[in-house]
Chains A and B, each alone.
Chain A
Amino acid sequence: MTDMVDEAAIRTAIAGVVRGDGGRLLSSLVANLRDFQLAEDSLQDALESALIHWTRSGLPTTPAAWLMQTARRKALDRLRRAANFRSKSSQIALAEEIIRADRDAGEKEAISDDRLRLIFTCCHPALDSRTSVALTLRSVAGLTTEEIAKAFLVSNEAMAQRLVRARHKIAQANIPFEVPRPETMAERLDAVLTVIYLIFTEGHSSSDGQLFRINLCEEAIRLVTILADLLPDQPEIEGLTALMLLHTARTGTRLSGTGEMICLEDQDRSQWDSDRIAAGLELIQRALARKSVGQYQLQAAIAALHAESPSFAETDWAQIALIYAGLFDIRPNPVFELNRIVAVSYSQGAEVALVALDGLALPLSGYQPYYAVRADLLVRLGDREAAGRAYRRAIDLSSSPAERQFLKRKANVAPRDGE
């Protein structure tokens, strides 16, 4: 291919390589260079260089290998230039050695270790969790800064700055590029899962029709799948994967044609993604069989009970209430208690539930779902006036148009429903 290749086609091809191999390339570079920012900058240099070279002479046979080699040379250039200002000769010697020793060839184990190290570094507890979210999407998932900025509704500059600050802290505070030792593994893995779950919930709560935004739910699933490959047989990783699969199986039925939220009770169960449900169920069963329970497994177990139930009315609410109680025991989060009370309202009645709900008035006083649940219980008990007040409070607190639309309709039909 000697003809000038269409630049747009090359740009698409490069984006594809970054999506597929970016995380792997970057983790090898960080492992080689021991410098997160230098690795990131060198990879960017290599991508720019690829655009020029590949447009001129077509795609190389193995684009990822080409990028890796080029990025290493670019790193050396950068170090040499920096050496004019500061004495970094030892670092240059190191980099030269690295470039000679091509670690890519056949060292599959080393590469997956690098990738795992990168994930643990990005999700290090010394970083702010929002920073970890951005850094993980950039460095592990290979999204562009622009895509991440859009997903979190901040400017490109602000996002770029957040990423630079994070890499700066990693370098300056010497956050180790390591897989944690066994004694801290559970804690550190929990931090990684928290970051992935944050990405997922952000995608879940912002999924109302913003087509130009990256699908963060799918990114979270992709990340947890990478993690599961690198760390097999971990029940909480399996649990989180199952949880996300079971939730996204219902995605298509969560919004009406007019963009209104559809609650679980009114969703068309025949439209749930049965493949995802099957995959989720298999995973959660495998995880639970390992007899080491955790919060993600329990949440997935609840999602599994919903997924398996033929209808809303036939749901095993008593079992769900029990699992929420178990969740609250390991993570005393009032939101789990709120969900338990909802389950209780179907297994033991709205009256029992309403009494239990009073205990949450203080901890959840600014939390929209608390008022939506309260309103719903009051409607079921026939107290329209109090229900109306609770609905109004819920509408005021809601930040999602789909949810507001749903709540407004509920608030309006509530009195007539009570007849």
Chain B
Amino acid sequence: MKYIALIYSDPAAAPAFDSPEFGAFMASYHAANERYSKDAVLVLGEALKSASTATTLRVRGGRTETMDGPFVESKEQLGGFYVFDCENLDEALKYAAMIPAAQHGAVEVRPIEDYGRS
């Protein structure tokens, strides 16, 4: 069963690019990714560029309206995601807890709808 882990965090709370903690932070992502591959649970995982690069659009009456910025304005931004293929929620939560950003931000874990594919 597939789960998506949506990573929300305040960019200011993560170690800055030029800080001494940054190297360790990236190393912990590397370690998590290795574990995911080793356990063969990783379907996909990506980091996103900052929310200031986002564009939100709506189609209303056949017209596309666009807005500069993310759909929800808040301190915590969607910063990346993983898709895991796991037995059950407990397993998915176990892997999601290994995401380094969970230490300062939050990770929302949701099952992916399968529409009877399996």
Residues of A within 8 A of B (CB): 86-87, 124, 126, 172-176, 178, 180, 184
Smallest beta-carbon distance A384→chain B, Å? 48
Give the bracket for the number of chain B residues in contact with chain A. Answer: under 10
With A126-B89, A173-B89, A174-B1 already in contact, the answer to whether A87 and B116 are too (CB < 8 A) is: yes
Which of chain A's residues have a CB closer than 8 A to the CB of B18?
Answer: none
Partner of B87, one of A172, A176, A180, A184: A176
Which of chain B's residues have a CB closer than 8 A to the CB of A174?
Answer: 1, 87-89, 111
In angstroms, Cα B89 to Cα A176, docked, is 7
Which of chain A's residues have a CB closer than 8 A to the CB of B88?
Answer: 174-176, 178
Smallest beta-carbon distance B41→chain A, Å? 14
Are A126 and B93 in touch, CB under 8 angstroms? yes
B90 proximal to A (CB < 8 A): yes
Smallest beta-carbon distance A40→chain B, Å? 19
Which of chain A's residues have a CB closer than 8 A to the CB of B89?
Answer: 124, 126, 173-176
Are A172 and B116 in touch, CB under 8 angstroms? no
With A86-B116, A87-B116, A126-B93 already in contact, the answer to whether A173 and B87 are too (CB < 8 A) is: no
Which of B87, B88, B90, B110 counts the most chain A CB atoms within 10 A? Answer: B90
In angstroms, Cα B93 to Cα A124, docked, is 12
In the complex, which residue of chain B has the Cβ closest to the Cβ of A184?
B90
In angstroms, Cα B115 to Cα A172, docked, is 12
| Shortest Cβ-Cβ A-B pairs, 10 listed | A176-B88, A174-B88, A173-B89, A175-B89, A173-B111, A174-B1, A176-B90, A174-B89, A172-B111, A126-B89
Which of chain B's residues have a CB closer than 8 A to the CB of A184?
Answer: 90
In angstroms, Cα B89 to Cα A126, docked, is 9
A sample of 7 inter-chain contacts (CB < 8 A) reads A86-B116, A87-B116, A124-B89, A126-B89, A172-B111, A175-B89, A176-B88
Which of B1, B88, B89, B110 counts the most chain A CB atoms within 10 A? Answer: B89
Which of A86, A124, A172, A174 counts the most chain B CB atoms within 10 A? Answer: A174
Which of chain A's residues have a CB closer than 8 A to the CB of B1?
Answer: 174
Q: 0/1 per residue, B95-118, Cβ < 8 Å to A?
A: 000000000000000110000100
Smallest beta-carbon distance B49→chain A, Å? 29
In angstroms, Cα B104 to Cα A122, docked, is 29
Which of chain A's residues have a CB closer than 8 A to the CB of B110?
Answer: 173
Which of chain B's residues have a CB closer than 8 A to the CB of A176?
Answer: 87-90
Residues 64-111 (chain B) with a chain A CB within 8 angstroms:
87-90, 93, 110-111
Smallest beta-carbon distance B57→chain A, Å? 29
In angstroms, Cα B87 to Cα A178, docked, is 12
In angstroms, Cα B111 to Cα A184, docked, is 22
In angstroms, Cα B110 to Cα A175, docked, is 11
Which of chain B's residues have a CB closer than 8 A to the CB of A178?
Answer: 88, 90
Smallest beta-carbon distance A90→chain B, Å? 10
Which of chain A's residues have a CB closer than 8 A to the CB of B90?
Answer: 175-176, 178, 180, 184
In the complex, which residue of chain A has the Cβ closest to the Cβ of B111?
A173
